[in-house]
Amino acid sequence: MPKKAKSKSKHKNVKMSEKYVVSDGKLTRKFKSCPKCKSMLAGHKDRAVCGSCGFKEVSVKKE
């Protein structure tokens, strides 16, 4: 029986250098912070989600 092919993951890790911007010698976040627990929100196509507390922020498209 032939072996199964390994499935490729669609998930891409975001490097720490891509999360922050250095301007005038200060670090600033690129992503929004969660209003409940102050951690970073994960940016998706149509929403922003907090991984630790589960807070969701849905962006509404204007037509």
In the chain, the number of structural domains is 1
Full pLDDT tens readout for the chain, 63 residues: 788 888 888 777 778 888 889 999 999 988 889 999 999 898 888 999 999 999 999 988 766
pLDDT of residue 53: 93
In a domain, 5, yes or no: no
Pairing of strands 26-29, 41-43: unpaired
**Range of 49's domain?**
33-63
Cα angle value 19/46/12 (rounded, 5°):
45
Whole-angstrom CA distances from 32 to 29, 45, 61 are 7, 14, 19
In-domain check, residue 50: yes
Report d(CA 48, CA 34) in Å as an integer.
9
* 11 located within any domain: no
